[in-house]
Amino acid sequence: MMRRNQSPKTIRVISVTSGKGGVGKTSVVANLALALCRMNKRVLILDADLGLANMDVMLGLNPRYTIQNVLKREKRIEEVIVTAPGGFKLLPAASGIQELTELDNGERLFLLNELDSIQDRFDVLLIDTAAGISSNVMYFNFAAMEKVVVVTNEPTSLTDAYALIKVLNNKYHQKRFKVLVNSARSASEADRIYRNLGLVADQFLGSPSLDYLGWIPYDKMVPASIRQQQMVLQRYPDTPASKSFVSLAEKLMGKEEEQAFAGDIRFFWRRLLKV
């Protein structure tokens, strides 16, 4: 029983985003969810790529319903959430539901009440955003309390990541970001990529704080597992990438006691839907 002066445990709401597509963001989210689940965390993924929802495909799932069915009041949210391999949960998105950010006040309140009914069931909400700087990408990143920006060694990945950070900083006044380097050949390469992004942000933006979250090594087993519609941590748990996902989850959760994270799932949706 909760003591009278004890507040509910805060749910971590983390967006995983990128300026450019093809950096492995969805794979990062899925493997991170599995690693967190193995740490006894209750994890929910929101597939927020509303135009090209593909988390279910990567996981080999075929959801019968999506969040669109909730918005249409056809299903309760607990009927839409599905269990993924490894035990974490997925709230599937339907392709092309732009109306998610165009709801009226009654629809917003309805959706918030639906989400409020499940928030005590989870410790972590991971949001797999679309790539780029569209309004939907900005909304989901603005609403999340923690933002992980995934970059690779490609020059376009760095320039597009900078553009993403610039818009969130200048227009949405977001100041703190975590940077994850994916598919790096070495620790020194990953460090160089992070430092290059940080130098440009410092020079032209000044105010954002870019924290280095770490790196995932290039691993040929990652694309192999994707082709099999499995997570590399699930299919090949002893590969370098799999071990790095475990370390990434531990590092994220290790910061839990160091910071006070404001808000919860309901707070996230209030910000997203601008109630």
pLDDT at 118: 84
CATH number, domain containing residue 20: 3.40.50.300
pLDDT by residue (tens digit) across 152-186? 999 999 999 999 999 999 998 899 999 999 999 99
pLDDT at 257: 44
Between strands 146-151 and 176-184, the pairing is: parallel
Residue 170 neighbours by CB distance under 10 Å: 12
Q: Answer whether residue 6 is part of any domain.
A: no
Q: Answer whether residue 168 is part of any domain.
A: yes
Give phi and psi for 145, each to the nearest 5.
Answer: -80, -25
Query: What CA–CA distance (Å, rounded) separates 202 from 8?
Result: 37
220 is in which domain, residue-wise?
12-253+263-273
Q: pTM for this structure? A: 0.89
Q: Are 92 and 63 in contact (CB under 8 A)?
A: yes
Q: Answer whether residue 53 is part of any domain.
A: yes
Q: Answer whether residue 258 is part of any domain.
A: no
pLDDT by residue (tens digit) across 136-148? 788 888 888 899 9
pLDDT by residue (tens digit) across 6-31? 445 678 889 999 998 999 999 999 99
CA atoms within 13 A on the CB side of 99: 13
DSSP H/E element including 245: helix 240-254
Query: What CA–CA distance (Å, rounded) separates 147 from 260?
Result: 15
Overall average pLDDT of the 122-137 stretch: 89
Domain count, the chain: 1
The one-letter amino acid code at 25 reads: K
Give me 184's structure tokens: 């790096």
pLDDT at 240: 97
